[in-house]
Structure formats: C-alpha cells, structure tokens
Amino acid sequence: MPPSKKRQRLSQRQIRVRDLERDAARRSLNANGMNGSLPPLPSSEEDDVQIENGVESGGIGTLFGHPYGALPYGNIHLVDSSKNHPDYVRHSGLGNLRVLNDEQLLEILSFVDGPSLAGGIVNCSRFLYVAGHHEELWRDLVLRLWGEIGFDVPDKTHADGEAEKQSDGVQVNHNNSGCWKDIYALNHCKSKKSSHHPEKHKPVSIQGIYSDTFFRSWLCRSFAYHPSWLSTHTVQTIDHSKLTTKVFLEQFEETNTPLLIKGASSSWPALKKWNAQYLIETTRGKSFRATSGAAPLPAQFTMDNYSKYCKSATEEAPLYLFDRTFAAKCPQLLDDFDGALKESCPFWSCDAEHGHDLFGLLGEERRPDHQWLIIGPKRSGSCFHIDPNCTHAWNAPIIGRKRWIFYPPGVTPPGVHPSPDGDDVCMPISLGEWFLTFWDAHVERRSHPDVRKRPLECTACPGDVLFVPHGWWHLVLNIGDSDSGSFNDKGMSVALTRNYVSASNLSDVLRFLDTRKNQISGCRDRHEAVQPDELASEFRKALSHVEHCQQAADEEKKDCDSGHARLKGRWTELLEMAEAEAKKGWGCAAWTDIAQESFCSIPEKKNVEHKSSILERAKLQQTMDSNNTSATSSSCEVFTFSFL
C-alpha cells in the first residue's frame, strides 16, 4: 500500500475516533469528565463569603481533600501540554476505551464483580485505579450481594487517628475515604469462611485526574456548611410550658403554621436514656431497613452495624434508616416516649377531645403507616418533600440537631420540579447538591415581596418538638452540636416522628383519599392494611362508628367507654363538617384540581429519565429486572415523592 494511502486511512480512522468521542459527549450529561452542571466550586477560605444585594455567595469550603486526587475538569486547561496530552493519564490509562465518557465507564464497571474489580481493573492503570474505587460502585456490589440478608460493618477507627498529607499538601484522613470497599472485603472473607482479616483500604492520591464526574460526588458529600447557613430562625417558637392546647389548635394547627416547641420532649425518658449503646442493647437481635434515593436496593442493618456505618459513611446520599415497625419490634422504645408525649403535649394525645390522630379509628393494623424511628449519619437528611396522605406531623430530635427549611403550600422550592398532578418530582438527588447549587436562590426567596411566600427556617435541638403542617415542602439536614460543620462530628442522628389526621386537616384528607388514590402511601405493602381503593370509604365508616365499638373492644381489649369510642357523636359531627368543606375545594394550596389530560405525559417522563444520573439509571434498571416492568413505568419510581 502506498504511504500516502496509508496516511489517508490513518487520518480517516483518527477522524472517526474523534467523532465517536464527540458523539459520546453529546449523548451524556457528563462528557469525558466534564459536567456542565457541576455545583459551584468551593473557595479555599471560609471568610470569602460575600454579601451582594443581600445574597450570600462564595465561602463554601470543603472538609477534606479528594481521597484519590481528582480535580474538576476545568483544571486541565492549566496543565503544561508541551510534553504530553493534558489528559494523558486518562488517555494512556484507558486506551481505546477513552472514547467513553466517565459516566459510561462507571456504568460498565458496575457489571464487574468485586474480586475482578479489586484484583484486576484497579491495577491496570492510574485512571482505572481512581475509577474502580468510586464509592458507589462498592456500595452497589455490597447491596446486591448482602443487602437483603444483612452484612457486617468494620470499625472504621483509623489506627493512629491522625490525618495524613498528600503530595500536594492537602490533609486526608483515611476515615474520609469511604467505607463500602472495606465492607465488601470483610463480608467477602466471611462468606468464603476465610480466617484472613482484610486490612483497611488506604487510598493513593493520583495526579493528573481531571473529572467532574468523580469530583462532583465527592464535592456533594464533603462541603462544609458555612455558619451563616444556620443563623436564620424564622419559624415561630414557644416554650412548651406556655403553650396551651387552645393556643396550639387555634394559632398553629388550624392556621397550618409550623411551630417549634422548646423543651417539649425534655422530660421524655428517651432523651435521657437513648445513646448508641442503649439502642444497640435494646434492639439486639432485630434488623432495620435503610434506603437511599441513589442506591439500587435497600439494606438490612443491625443497630450495631448501622452505628458503625454512621461513623464512616461519606457517600453523597447515605443510606437512611426509616423504620415504621420499631414499636412492635422493640416495645421498650415506644415506652420511652409515648406516655411522656401525652403529658408534655396533650394536644397530641389520641384521647384529646378536639379530634387527634383520626386514622387511629381504623385500628393499628388497618391504618396507614404513621410513626417512624429515623436514624442517619450526621450531614444526612431528607431532600424537599411533602408529607404523605395530606397529614400533619410532629418531629422530635433525640440525638443530634436538625436544620429545617420550609416552603409554604403552593410555593415550590428552588431546584424542585413537581409534575402537574403531583405524582412525580424531579430534584437534586442529594442535600449537598441542593445546598451547593440552589442556596443563593433560596436566600433570595427570603426577601420575597409577598411575605406569605417566604421560606421559614429553624434548628431543632434535642428537647424540642417541631410541628410540621400538611402541604408544606420541607428539607431536613442532620447536623452536629457545632455550627462549624466539621466532618469529625460523626455518628448517629436519631429522631422520632408521627403523622396524623385531625379536625384541622380532615377535609383535605378526605378529598385527597377520593381524588389521589395513586398517591396514597403507607398501606400498599401490608395486606392487613386498608388498601387505597377502599381507604376513603373505610375511613368514613370509622368516623361514623359503623362497627367501631366492637372493633375497638376486640382489637384493643377495651370497652366502648374509652378513648375514641367516648366521642362517637363528636366524630360524626366532624365528618359532616369536613365533608361540607371538602366539597368546596382544597383548604391547602399544595394541591389543586387539574384535568386528567393536563397530567404529565409518558414522553415527558422519558425525558426526565434521559437526564437522570448513572446511579438513578442503575436503580431504574434494577427495578426493571426485578419487577419485569417497562422503562416508562419504572422511571416514575425514581422521582416519586419521598416522605422521610
């Protein structure tokens, strides 16, 4: 072949490779390491916070250096390219696979088993070493192998407990490098009945890694919240000793206004007794389910293992323990607060004459889920959501503080995009991404010309109880005892919560049960519970006391003169009034009546799926494989309302 033709063929091959690279970049949100929607990068100094037109900007520090040395893709333009290609580490480390972008590469690696990933792929090149240690890869391996049966978590305490310095001078503590690879190694050896005890993984920092894909997940889990983020307190606050039932009902529950009640739980035994060791001992032999919006599967934890996980978790969206059956599993935990709640907050007693916890009329087994034990690592929490079934709620932090941000009914928070019918919502998958991306927009909302549309904020401490009215969007961030946001402030954050129906939201609940059957939750996976199609009629029967007295006597072993039964006439009157209000329309602006044809269409949901991340698509694929459902119906699951 003449040299000129050979050069021409090589040139055409190079052009084809270049076109493939460009096509791959266009097909994905994350190009070859470059992400156009990377959250604002942190400054190096906390005092760089600037106030411009009343809006905070800058000043977001990070708590530790990237454990594997990854830098934002933009840093590639600062590299001296006189000797090598500026992205030489990636190009040389991937070979022909460099036509794939980093997100696609991670998707391929998600099909590799643990031994091949740890013993082969991560040893092939410097770039694959970093890619193969992506925290979410090891998390998904663990969950697919042992998520349903439970797994052990190693104690992540570093031998010397001190941070080490990378070659670039950045301090890195191995406790911040993640825990899932160590969890995999421990349980792999255990499954093979090996006496070998695996050493804790110590990451090696690699120079020349430029990837927004790798950097973004680290940034969203390692940012340091500035103290100014916690300084605003706009939720009304009252000391529990000065709050009467009449004031609570008339000024807060009936007006649907959030309220922080100081000292309301200070006398609860739970506040004095609960710590990690007490919870471990009290729940010994029991397992608890934890989930994450970014994880493909849930996980079963013992309290001991979950406590260890909370000390070491560093992923962007940690697994969150949200257990609805804790009272049946461990009655002692219920005894530690239930009786004291009725004394300190009599307006939340099931025997209250004003009509509280009306779903309780259905019976404990038949009602929707209503109480949860909530545990998560510090810096975890729940993204914006509206509580289920049109219910009010109260939330009491027992260990650790909680930062709350509320948006009024009908006012959508920045970065949150619900569908017109309310079935689905698209939002950042993690708290870190929301804070980094939309904090400035949130600060602007604080000075909205219409005071009724401004957000409310507060920090709830152990001893406080927060009233969460129905229809309010709210975000919750678990924080430690210090406003510095130090990553050394680790461990469990523990809280209790209950959702309820009362006279103040009964009309909206009835309308919701009639018109939003596909959004009813808390009963679908329990055969003994009243199912969504019958819940409205059965609830009305319970309020009318059809066969209720006999039901109460059988289930609760009480006579008809106790509890709810004493107020038979009151419930009937409440039902009549609520039915009349429900016919007039919604009492809360969070819900509207929209024609069916204006609901979010299937093609629109496909577009949402197209913009989802690799983790969301992995979760979608897992759902499709297990349920044999279509991609269209499964994609809705990724963005359905959370009610943590």
Residue 62's pLDDT band (boundaries 50, 70, 90)?
Answer: low
Residue 614's pLDDT band (boundaries 50, 70, 90)?
Answer: very low
Residue 269's pLDDT band (boundaries 50, 70, 90)?
Answer: very high
Phi, psi at residue 314, to the nearest 5°?
Answer: -135, 10
Q: Among the residues of 147-250, which ranges form H helices?
A: 180-191, 212-222, 245-248
Spatial neighbors of 22 by CB under 8 A, at least 6 apart, are none
Residue 8's pLDDT band (boundaries 50, 70, 90)?
Answer: low
Report the DSSP pairing between strands 259-262 and 236-239. Answer: parallel
Closest CA to 67 of 225, 200, 227: 200
Reading phi first (left if > 0) and then psi (alpha if -120 to 50, else beta), residue 390 is in left
DSSP 210: B
Residue 420's pLDDT band (boundaries 50, 70, 90)?
Answer: confident
| Per-residue model confidence (pLDDT) at position 612 | 43
Average pLDDT value over all residues in the chain: 81
Q: What is the tens place of the pLDDT at every residue in 542-601? A: 998 744 444 444 454 444 444 444 455 577 888 999 999 999 999 999 999 864 433 333
Of the chain, the percentage scoring pLDDT greater than 70 comes to: 74
Q: How far apart are CA 633 and CA 640, in angstroms?
A: 11
Residue 51: strand, helix, or coil: strand
Q: How far apart are CA 22 and CA 14, in angstroms?
A: 12
| Per-residue model confidence (pLDDT) at position 53 | 42
Q: How far apart are CA 612 and CA 275, in angstroms?
A: 38
- Domain positions in the chain: 23-223, 228-274+336-600, 601-644
512-520 contact pairs (CB < 8 A, 24+): 512/389, 512/390, 512/591, 513/389, 513/539, 514/582, 515/593, 516/422, 516/591, 518/423, 519/388, 519/422, 519/423, 519/641, 520/368, 520/388, 520/389
Q: What is the tens place of the pLDDT at every residue in 169-201? A: 444 444 555 689 999 999 999 999 888 888 899
Closest CA to 127 of 101, 146, 147: 101
CA 27 to chain centre: 28
Phi, psi at residue 373, to the nearest 5°?
Answer: -95, 125
Q: How far apart are CA 26 and CA 101, in angstroms?
A: 10
Q: Which of 55-69, 175-189, 627-641 has the lowest mean pLDDT?
A: 627-641
Q: How far apart are CA 453 and CA 472, in angstroms?
A: 11
Burial group, residue 277, by CB count within 10 angstroms (0-12, 13-18, 19+): exposed
User: Which residue, chain included where needed, has tokens 């770039």?
Assistant: 127
Top-ranked range on mean pLDDT: pick from 5-9, 46-50, 503-507, 544-548? 503-507
Residue 481's pLDDT band (boundaries 50, 70, 90)?
Answer: confident
Q: Pick 228-274+336-600's CATH classification: 1.20.1050, 1.10.150, 2.60.120, 3.40.1000.
A: 2.60.120
pLDDT higher than threshold 80 for residue 128: yes
Q: What is the tens place of the pLDDT at every residue in 424-479? A: 899 998 998 999 889 999 999 999 999 999 999 999 999 999 999 999 999 999 99
Q: What is the tens place of the pLDDT at every residue in 508-543? A: 999 999 999 999 999 999 999 999 999 999 999 999
Q: How far apart are CA 291 and CA 317, in angstroms?
A: 10
Instruction: Provide mean pLDDT across the span 97-117.
Output: 95
Residue 603's pLDDT band (boundaries 50, 70, 90)?
Answer: very low
User: Which residue, chain included where needed, has tokens 């036509």?
Assistant: 99
Bridge partners of residue 372, in order along the sequence: 497
CA distances from 573 to 80, 249, 319, 354 (A): 79, 18, 44, 11
Contact between 275 and 399 under an 8 Å Cβ cutoff? The reply is yes
Q: What is the tens place of the pLDDT at every residue in 298-350? A: 999 999 999 999 998 888 899 999 999 999 999 999 999 999 999 999 999 98
Q: How far apart are CA 449 and CA 107, in angstroms?
A: 46
Q: Report helix angle 135-146 to 102-109, nearest 10.
A: 30
| Per-residue model confidence (pLDDT) at position 103 | 92
Of the chain, the percentage scoring pLDDT greater than 90 comes to: 59
- pTM (two decimals): 0.81
Return the exposure string of 428-455: e unless at least 16 CB atoms fall within 10 Å of the residue's CB, then b. bbbbbbbbbbbbeebbebeeeeeeeebb
Residue 78's pLDDT band (boundaries 50, 70, 90)?
Answer: confident
Q: What is the tens place of the pLDDT at every residue in 357-387? A: 999 999 999 999 999 999 999 889 999 999 9
Instruction: Provide mean pLDDT across the span 122-127.
Output: 96
Closest CA to 511 of 541, 542, 535: 535
pLDDT higher than threshold 80 for residue 158: no
